[in-house]
Structure 1
Amino acid sequence: MNLKNIFLHATILVICFACGGAKKSDWQQQANGVWKYTIGEKSKINLLDAAGAVPNLARLDAGAATTFPLDKERIHITKSAHKIVIQLPLDDAEQIYGLGLQFKSVNRRGKTYHLKVDHYGGKDNGSTHAPVPFYLSSKGYGVLINSASYMTVYVGSSVRLDSKSKPAVYNRNTDKNWEAQPKSDVVEIVIPDGNAEIIVFNGETPLNTVRKYNLYQGGGVLPPKWGLGFTYRSHTRHTAEEVLAEVQEFEHNEFPLDFIGLEPGWMNMSYPSSYEWDEGRFPEPGKFVHTLLEQGVRTNLWMNPYIAPKAKLYEPMLPYAGTHLVWNGIVPDYTMDAARKIFLDFYTKNQLDIGVSGLKIDEVDGYDNWLWPDAATFPSGTSAEQMRQVYGLLMQKMVADLYHKSNQRTYGLVRASNAGAATLPFVLYNDYYDHRDFITALINSGFSGVLWTPEVRQSNKGEEWLRRMQSVCFSPMAMVNAWSSGTKPWSYPEVYEEVQQVAMLRMQLLPYIYSTFADYYFNGTPPVRPMQLVEGFGAKEEIKAGKLDDTANPYNLAIRKDIKDQFMFGDNLLVAPVFTGETSRTVILPQGKWYDFYTGEYAGENEVIEIRTALATIPLFVKDGGIIPMIGPRLHAPKPGEQLALQVRHYGKEGGSFLLYDDDGETFDYEKGDYSLTELSADPQVGSKGNEKRVEGSVFGYGSVTWKFMTE
């Protein structure tokens, strides 16, 4: 044995000794269907702790017991002082989903992802606003790596020499079966750290596993009713008078509005930020916010966390700042209690106490040349890399706790998030602006326990404006963001009637949408559901042959057909967005019969259909027996104590039921039991005209209930 081999052998021994081997007994069951394996000593900070995630054990333990879903003999973990390598088995037919907010594709098999919080740069490489290290298998299990470090995930993209099921070897010169991407039987995760937790979930179906993943974080967020209405972000330089005039324009044009966002100009300095009202544009902020509240409109304020030298917060926060500036502002270390208290005391006095309803937390996501570098250090000892991965979580958690303490629900926006965020009342957005990719991101959000809005900013023509508006009205936050363009919903008069129509449809569907979010809160069911989570969805994501090109595709790579342009919104609504220029599109209908939302007419069953698209409407389909509760068109979300007429629609020929949820829509009193669950049911086959049965509680905001059977 030469000197080189002796050194290599010694290094391997050190790695193996440090690891100690992944013993079967080291997997500790946390709840029904949840197991955890801890590598090294518990880290000072990880994703779930940063988000304040507390598992909902009662909900997790409900239902039939499940077994550990992976072959433990095929799990291998090696650890050195500063690096962990995790190998997890992957079967031949498995497809993998998740790994955060990616924009181009849904299926992860055969790809590599470098998971790092960053502004999305146009490629699905793992650098994104929510690089959630959770993946879901088509076999019905999921894996979360609870670590605040950067990490690289090879999703069946690397073939190991010691593999027991290596792919066949072909000669590219002579065999058409040659593949540029040979299939691997392992997911490998590389973490440049000495500590991590592997958490495995088994719900036996993909949807149940996502539910368990969300419940392990505590369950999904339940927004206020006004948060699910319509929001508009005003131009950044507008004054109080101009904002109030805009609100009057919404009223005049009969367009719904529940909260309005003020962009950087509300401050007397931004980039870096002061968090202080500009006395010229907003001389009486308390009066301004109160005037909006009297008109049924909430106020949301833009911020980024980098504090300007002229700000009143600067000196108190300076001892808790990192070593590097962002836009010449200090970066507070919000892992520290003292820093959090300074910010929250200031925000309470200057914003919360005058009635501000929430925040838009901007620029906590990158780019590398803007954010603090990995060379930065922070007073708490948290590394720069860890701080980058959790900063969005820390900000969300801090603000959410403050509003919870005041018994007011909030709902805002954030540019960076991660695992653990399911309970936090924030929706992701970004400056990238591609309609198709926004829908793919919306679909991927359903795998990862985060919320995303395909916000509308501006468009080249009326058709595009309408199509974007139709999509955003079937997302977690319906928003026009006019911070720079100043566009209004009526800026394209040729399609304004249709734009108004879909916004009003959003308002009419609030009972359905609110109940869908209640299902997220109680059961972990994502409100936006990828088709891969739908029971009986039979469409295969086929691999299509690539086209050989000596520059564009020199390895003749095949192309995977992703299902990334349709999704479920709640249990009963299938949404099929339309993009500019399309006059038709295909829709894949899952198992069972499906009906057109608008007419109740039969659409198809477990098949691919081609539909002609109408400019005025976004294609919507309801499953057989589906029940959709609706209210009348309105300009603002329902207020506490308001009694509304409820119309309940039934579709198809089969019987069905729907669990309608209600509470005051604003406070956290539902945590004390102040809510109601009402079962709506109907069965046309036995002549049922529709029934309402109170299951739980008494808070019910509907004075009358009528039924409409959409299918003759």
Structure 2
Amino acid sequence: MTDDVTFLNGVVDVSGEFTRLEPTYFLADRLERFDARAARGEVRWKRYARKGRLAFNQFAVLFEESKPWEFPAEYPAEPALPFSVDFITPRTVRLRVRTRAETPPDEPSLMLVGPPPADTSWAVEQQEGRTVYRSQAAGVRITADPWHFELLDARGRLLTRTQHMKDSRNLQNSEPLPFCFLRRASDLQRRIAASFSLSPDEKLFGAGESFTRLNKRGQKIALWMQDPHGVQTSRMYKPVPFFLSSRGYGMFVHTAAPLTFDFGCSYDGLNTIYCGDETLDVFLFVGTPKEILSEYTALTGRSPVPPTWSFGLWMSRLTYKSDEEVRQVTGELRRRKIPCDVIHLDTGWFETEWRCDYRFSPTRFPRPGKLMADLKEQGFRVSVWQVPYFTPSNPLYAEAVREGYIVRAGGGQPATEDATIDFSNPRAVRWYQGLLEGVLREGVSCIKADFGEGAPLGGQYASGKSGFYEHNLYPLRYNQAVWDVTRRVTGEAILWGRSAWAGCQRFPVHWGGDAETTDCAMAATLRAGLSLGLCGFSFWSHDIGGFVKRTSEELYRELYRRWVPFGMLTSHSRCHGFPPKEPWHYGEEFTDEFRRAVEMKYRLMPYILAQAKQCSERGHPMVRPLFFEHPDDPTSWLIEDEYLFGRDLLVAPLMDEGARGRDVYLPPGPWRDYQTGKAYDGARWHAIDASAVPVVVLARDGATIRECPVAQSTVWIDWDG
């Protein structure tokens, strides 16, 4: 099954189907045959058609009840279809609504770490016309006629409820869109529109590594993985079908099919989840942001703490092209006493740049094993780039096609111009891991899992599913393949990944892709990191200074100067991209400032690792919005250009050209400037100047910020010093 797109890997947005005239629409109406003890029953769906209506020179498409025309007359006009609620924990419930009479057995899910547990602490009470379930932390209320599913907090306060046509106070019966599904005329496939109420001041966060405003209220977001070619559009490398609300609940839509979250964009008081799957399978969570994220990551997995060396500086550019160049850069880093742990080789380590054949160039990297060994003695690890696509000129292309390791079109040929590895094929995974194993045994410590956003929509996959379901799952299979072979060969588990979906947080680290070299891109990068962190990704990085080419060296130097300390105060720190990233290219003054920023990170390494351990255990992000620690402070929910680095450090990057300080909002409680020691009161705004390192950093007063002496590599840190 495929959907029409104008361009290859264009967005699949199922929401557009819900205004068409040709489908048959079924609107959730009332509950039937409900077993309150088992929390299972059926929802009766009323049949409608969309009809055009002209009124006062305006054309609208409204709902009208319709009669069945199927022949023979053996198909229900208003079907009663399965509906169930499962209680997973005192804070988590699972709602499943089906659009066909059949209830298929549960299958293992790549997105989940295992079958969800069952919690027996929920009490059930039958009331007139409704059933109420309560735990110590949450509640669910199911009304029979009209059918409503309502989520409650521990006090019984309504958090959100499904939308019925009878709830509308609009002049048009199609607004707001009721909870419904459609049956397509072209292939009889179903699409779901799960509509839930929003409150007037409600704010919504998450949906993946989204570069748009942090609060998603008023936005419409298509969850279809793409290469956005920058960080200032709604397109995403890492869409995640999860969000949380300022009202104290969250939702995870358990599917890999295309989704669109309409967060009050089309209708302000309504949150509609447009789902390309034929079953709505959604987990709902109740609690604070911390509690919600812990619940969500208990289901989908948490990020293991990456190796200690990975928290140091990664130095890269596009691209180092020879053994000699690598040795020159690493030697200069040590000579200038700039701490660094990782050198990354991007697209230039092959004989032909970008032609990924998993072999070091024999002319430019004649003895890769010796290079890796020498660098390790000097305190460096090595990361290398690769991609899961083979161009026809790649020497591996013919083998991949011949052996069936790729995603195929209907005639058996490659689904696109490139041969795309089919990670749903176990044979292909073993072959691919064999290629990586040879590289890792040369002494490489990390594989950069670049791209992965282009799994063909129209391809045929070994799993038996189409690209409609495999496209968004692709990075989950891809990341795991890289992760597993790296752990097996090196004994350490890490990757450097760009694309992601729900569950990929189990395979850190991920970075923010190809940012432009602008102030707005720097701000968008931070928003994206905060959004991704709110989807359970504990560890995250970005290309410090931006990725794409600059236009003015002077302007770039000034931007890079402000971006460096922001990059150092994220869990992982990599300088990478087209402009030379080595600081000495920008003068001695810049190099000294760069060194001070890096030294700040290495000095904070005990704090960073302690926070990393807590984040890993709880499913929390290292880079977190202020409201994550201060959910009762209304202003903290509004801040998107500051963040907390772990629990106790507040970071306010300098986002504007030429800035030497900025206005900073401090959450409740006393704070002190990490660089100067000056004290500030919380729950208010302050104008604060940056100090020796061009960033504003404040520590929660009374917090223990553990430090250590600066070392040139994490392997040489005196942890007791």
Is the structural similarity TM-score above 0.5?
yes
Following superposition, the deviation at residue 137 of structure 1 comes to: 0.6
Following superposition, the deviation at residue 302 of structure 1 comes to: 0.3
2:331 corresponds to 1:236? no
Q: Deviations over 1:174-233 (max 9, x none)?
A: xxxxxxxxx31x21111122134201122x212221222223222223111100000012
1:139 alignment partner, one of 215, 239, 247: 247
Following superposition, the deviation at residue 455 of structure 1 comes to: 1.7
One-letter amino acid of the counterpart of residue 137, structure 2: T
1:99 alignment partner, one of 207, 211, 218: 207
Q: Work out the percentage of aligned pairs sharing the same amino acid.
A: 23
- Indicate if the aligned counterparts of 1:139 and 1:206 stay in contact, CA closer than 8 A: no
- Indicate if the aligned counterparts of 1:305 and 1:332 stay in contact, CA closer than 8 A: yes
- Indicate if the aligned counterparts of 2:384 and 2:444 stay in contact, CA closer than 8 A: yes
Aligned to 1:599: 676
Following superposition, the deviation at residue 630 of structure 1 comes to: 0.6
One-letter amino acid of the counterpart of residue 282, structure 1: F
- Indicate if the aligned counterparts of 2:663 and 2:687 stay in contact, CA closer than 8 A: yes
Give the TM-score of the pair, scaled to structure 2: 0.75
Aligned to 2:272: 188
Following superposition, the deviation at residue 58 of structure 1 comes to: 13
Following superposition, the deviation at residue 377 of structure 1 comes to: 2.5
CA distance in 1, matches of 2:298, 2:206: 17
CA distance in 1, matches of 2:671, 2:118: 35
CA distance in 2, matches of 1:628, 1:193: 47
One-letter amino acid of the counterpart of residue 678, structure 2: E
2:582 corresponds to 1:488? yes
CA distance in 2, matches of 1:210, 1:609: 31
Aligned to 1:576: 652
- Indicate if the aligned counterparts of 2:359 and 2:439 stay in contact, CA closer than 8 A: no
2:533 alignment partner, one of 419, 441, 446: 446
1:506 alignment partner, one of 592, 601, 613: 601
Aligned to 1:464: 559
1:332 alignment partner, one of 421, 430, 446: 421
- Indicate if the aligned counterparts of 1:55 and 1:217 stay in contact, CA closer than 8 A: no
- Indicate if the aligned counterparts of 2:204 and 2:216 stay in contact, CA closer than 8 A: yes
Aligned to 2:445: 357
- Indicate if the aligned counterparts of 1:113 and 1:126 stay in contact, CA closer than 8 A: yes
Aligned to 1:590: 667
Aligned to 2:158: none
2:407 alignment partner, one of 311, 322, 340: 322
Q: Deviations over 1:638-688 (max 9, x none)?
A: 36xx75334xxxxxxxxxxxxxxxxxxxxxxxxxxxxxxxxxxxxxxxxxx
One-letter amino acid of the counterpart of residue 336, structure 1: N
After superposition, the Cα gap between the structure-2 partners of 1:311 and 1:18, relative to the gap in structure 1 and judged at 3 Å, is farther
- Indicate if the aligned counterparts of 1:115 and 1:133 stay in contact, CA closer than 8 A: yes
Give the TM-score of the pair, scaled to structure 1: 0.76
- Indicate if the aligned counterparts of 1:229 and 1:257 stay in contact, CA closer than 8 A: yes
CA distance in 2, matches of 1:506, 1:2: 61
CA distance in 2, matches of 1:358, 1:376: 30
Q: Deviations over 1:413-445 (max 9, x none)?
A: 222111112221221221132212112222222
Three-state SS of the structure 2 residue aligned to 1:571 is coil
Following superposition, the deviation at residue 467 of structure 1 comes to: 0.5
2:645 corresponds to 1:645? no
2:88 corresponds to 1:20? no
Three-state SS of the structure 1 residue aligned to 2:540 is coil
User: What are the equivalent positions in structure 2 for 1:328-477 lying under 5 Å apart?
Assistant: 328-348=417-437, 350-365=438-453, 371=454, 373-406=456-489, 408-433=491-516, 434-450=521-537, 451-457=539-545, 460-477=555-572
Three-state SS of the structure 2 residue aligned to 1:133 is strand
2:617 corresponds to 1:617? no
After superposition, the Cα gap between the structure-2 partners of 1:11 and 1:321, relative to the gap in structure 1 and judged at 3 Å, is farther
RMSD across aligned positions (CA):
3.4
CA distance in 1, matches of 2:118, 2:602: 33
User: What are the equivalent positions in structure 2 for 1:119-138 lying under 5 Å apart?
Assistant: 119-120=227-228, 126-138=234-246
Aligned to 1:246: 329
2:102 corresponds to 1:37? no
After superposition, the Cα gap between the structure-2 partners of 1:8 and 1:51, relative to the gap in structure 1 and judged at 3 Å, is same
CA distance in 1, matches of 2:335, 2:80: 68
Aligned to 1:90: 198
Following superposition, the deviation at residue 267 of structure 1 comes to: 1.8
One-letter amino acid of the counterpart of residue 33, structure 1: R
Three-state SS of the structure 2 residue aligned to 1:266 is coil
CA distance in 2, matches of 1:287, 1:339: 30
CA distance in 1, matches of 2:48, 2:623: 59
Three-state SS of the structure 1 residue aligned to 2:388 is coil
Three-state SS of the structure 2 residue aligned to 1:629 is coil
CA distance in 2, matches of 1:382, 1:211: 31
One-letter amino acid of the counterpart of residue 343, structure 1: Y
- Indicate if the aligned counterparts of 2:482 and 2:495 stay in contact, CA closer than 8 A: no
After superposition, the Cα gap between the structure-2 partners of 1:131 and 1:587, relative to the gap in structure 1 and judged at 3 Å, is same
Q: Deviations over 1:228-264 (max 9, x none)?
A: 0000124425111211221111101111111111111
User: What are the equivalent positions in structure 2 for 1:673-692 lying under 5 Å apart?
Assistant: none
Q: Deviations over 1:575-596 (max 9, x none)?
A: 0101222233111111111111
After superposition, the Cα gap between the structure-2 partners of 1:328 and 1:6, relative to the gap in structure 1 and judged at 3 Å, is closer
CA distance in 1, matches of 2:482, 2:337: 33
CA distance in 2, matches of 1:578, 1:466: 10
CA distance in 2, matches of 1:338, 1:39: 36
User: What are the equivalent positions in structure 2 for 1:258-269 lying under 5 Å apart?
Assistant: 258-269=341-352
CA distance in 2, matches of 1:151, 1:19: 25
- Indicate if the aligned counterparts of 1:307 and 1:314 stay in contact, CA closer than 8 A: no
Aligned to 2:17: none
- Indicate if the aligned counterparts of 1:221 and 1:424 stay in contact, CA closer than 8 A: yes
Following superposition, the deviation at residue 120 of structure 1 comes to: 2.5
CA distance in 2, matches of 1:439, 1:406: 34
CA distance in 2, matches of 1:194, 1:2: 18
Task: Identify which range, 568-577 or 615-624, moves more after superposition.
Answer: 615-624
Following superposition, the deviation at residue 490 of structure 1 comes to: 2.3
CA distance in 1, matches of 2:579, 2:488: 36
Following superposition, the deviation at residue 326 of structure 1 comes to: 8.5
One-letter amino acid of the counterpart of residue 601, structure 2: R
- Indicate if the aligned counterparts of 1:323 and 1:377 stay in contact, CA closer than 8 A: yes
User: What are the equivalent positions in structure 2 for 1:286-325 lying under 5 Å apart?
Assistant: 286-309=369-392, 310-312=394-396, 314-316=398-400, 318=402, 319-323=404-408
Following superposition, the deviation at residue 65 of structure 1 comes to: 4.5
2:282 corresponds to 1:221? no
CA distance in 2, matches of 1:106, 1:69: 29
Q: Deviations over 1:103-156 (max 9, x none)?
A: 230111122111111123668775211111111011221101111111111112
Following superposition, the deviation at residue 43 of structure 1 comes to: 9.1
Three-state SS of the structure 2 residue aligned to 1:375 is coil
After superposition, the Cα gap between the structure-2 partners of 1:11 and 1:346, relative to the gap in structure 1 and judged at 3 Å, is farther
Q: How many correspondences in the alignment?
A: 587
CA distance in 2, matches of 1:15, 1:102: 42
CA distance in 2, matches of 1:269, 1:327: 22
CA distance in 1, matches of 2:401, 2:688: 58
One-letter amino acid of the counterpart of residue 283, structure 2: I
1:534 alignment partner, one of 629, 632, 647: 629
